[in-house]
Amino acid sequence: MKVFVNKRIPDNGIRILKEANLEIIVPETETPTQEEWLENCKKADIILSVGGKNKYDKDFFDACPNIKAIALFSVGFDQVDIKEATKRKIAVGNTPDVLSRATSDVAFLLMQMVSRKASYNIDKVKSGNWKDFDALEELGQELYGKTLGILGLGRIGFEMAEKCKAAFGMDIIYHNRSHNQEAEKELDAKYVSFDALIENSDVISIHANYTPEQANIFNESIFERMKPNLIFINTARGGFHNEQDLLSALKSGSIWGAGLDVTNPEPMDNNSPLLELSNVCVLPHIGSATIEARSGMARLAAENVVAFAKGEKMPACVNPEVYED
Binding site for ligand DGY (CB under 6 A): 52, 74-76, 99, 287-288
For the CB of residue 165, give the shortest distance to ligand DGY in the complex, in Å: 24
Q: Residue 46 has what DSSP assignment? A: E
Instruction: Tell me whether residue 277 or residue 289 sits nearer to ligand DGY (CB atom).
Output: 289
To ligand DGY, the closest distance from the beta carbon of 99 in angstroms equals 6
Question: Is residue 266 annotated as part of the catalytic site, yes or no?
Answer: yes
Q: Which is nearer to ligand DGY, 75 or 305 (CB)?
A: 75
The residues, any chain, with a CB within 8 Å of residue 106's CB and separated by 6 or more, are: 235, 261, 283, 286, 287
Closest CB to ligand DGY among 75 and 255?
75
DSSP 128-139: T---S--TTSS-
177 is a catalytic site residue:
no
Q: Where are the alpha helices (DSSP H) in the chain?
A: 11-19, 34-43, 58-63, 82-87, 100-115, 118-126, 155-168, 181-187, 194-200, 220-223, 243-252, 291-309
Q: Is 184 a catalytic residue?
A: no
Residues 6+ apart with CB under 8 A from 249: 220, 223, 224, 226, 255
Given 137, 266, 292, 321, the catalytic residue = 266
Q: 226 vs 301, which CB is nearer to ligand DGY?
A: 301
Dihedral angle sign, alpha carbons of residues 146, 152, 156, 159: positive
Integer Cα distance of 197 and 8 in angstroms: 40
11, 294 contact by CB (below 8 A): no
Q: Which of 3, 43, 47 is nearest to 21 (CA)?
A: 3
State which residue, 152 or 287, has the beta carbon closest to ligand DGY: 287
* Rg (alpha carbons) of the chain, rounded to whole number: 21
Distance separating alpha carbons of residues 241 and 234, to the nearest angstrom = 8
With beta carbons less than 8 A apart as the criterion, state whether 32 and 76 touch.
Answer: no
| Smallest distance from ligand DGY to CB 93, Å | 12
Q: How far is the CB of 236 from ligand DGY (least distance, A)?
A: 7
DSSP 266: S
Name the minimum Å distance from CB 59 to ligand DGY. Answer: 22
Annotated catalytic residue: which of 175, 237, 294, 299? 237
Alpha carbon of residue 13 to chain centroid:
21
**Minimum CB distance to ligand DGY, residue 283 (Å):** 12
Q: State the catalytic residue, choosing from 175, 207, 285, 299.
A: 285
Closer to ligand DGY by Cβ: residue 158 or 223: 158
Catalytic residues: 237, 266, 285
